[in-house]
Amino acid sequence: MIVEAHPLLDLQSFVSEFPRPLGEMPAAALSGMLALDAAAPLHSDDGVREAVRNLLRAGGFKPTGRSKPASEYLLRAAGDGSLGPINLAVDACNVVSLHSGLPISVIDLDRARLPLRVAIAPAGASYVFNASGQSMDLSGLLCLFDADGPCANAVKDAQRTKTAADTRRTLSLVWGTTALPGRAEQTAKWYRSLLEEHGASVREGAA
């Protein structure tokens, strides 16, 4: 995976392989950790949230309103009790993002087409991010691109590469910032350990 130069990005990535399709893995294995008061090795605060927003602003994107970082959405959802289990891969992502304060992308690696790169999306770029067909403007936002275009970012991942019941292999991206030295690495380490504890095989890097 090629990562284009960026003044603030501290990206951590790894590939996970699951022994069975996600639809056959325990669905609620991590549900207890999707609460704000759950025991966790990392905790977010206003300083983390501002550093993440500055990371996304660097290319000209405005991370506010419906375009706020995914980690902030999780914080609100956990607070109002609407954050529930989806599948093991997404739940591990959500648990770690919620408590670390760093946005994380997780995609089905077999739904993406090589080569992969991380770069700021050009003006006018967009993609569909949910099953209802809603799209978001990606202009100026750091994104993961595959051969077909942008497919993930720190706000909302693309519908076309999201995990599903038949997913066996995922790529995770921790969108860290150099303004928080070491935090992305700590976050990725905890994330990998959670997945390994629940049967996944994990290797650092990307396809």
pLDDT in tens, 123-176: 999 999 999 999 999 999 999 999 999 999 999 999 999 999 999 999 999 999
The mean per-residue pLDDT over the stretch 172-193 comes to 98
Distances, alpha carbon 187 to alpha carbons 32, 104, 109, 132, 171, in Å: 19, 10, 21, 31, 15
User: Token pair of 17, please?
Assistant: 């392989």
* pLDDT at residue 22 tops 90: yes
The mean per-residue pLDDT over the stretch 67-82 comes to 95
* pLDDT at residue 121 tops 90: yes
Residue count of the chain: 207
Q: Judge contact between 93 and 71, C-beta under 8 A.
A: no
Instruction: Name which of 56, 143, 146, 61 is nearest 102 in CA terms.
Output: 56
Q: Judge contact between 156 and 150, C-beta under 8 A.
A: no
Helix or strand (DSSP H, E) at 197: helix 183-197
What number of other Cβ atoms are within 10 A of residue 147's Cβ?
A: 11
User: Token pair of 148, please?
Assistant: 């077909």
Tokens 């290319």 locate to 59
First to last CA, the chain: 6
pLDDT value at position 205? Answer: 75
Q: Judge contact between 131 and 99, C-beta under 8 A.
A: no
DSSP code string of 57-108: HTTT----GGGS-HHHHHHHHHHTT------HHHHHHHHHHHHH---EEEEE
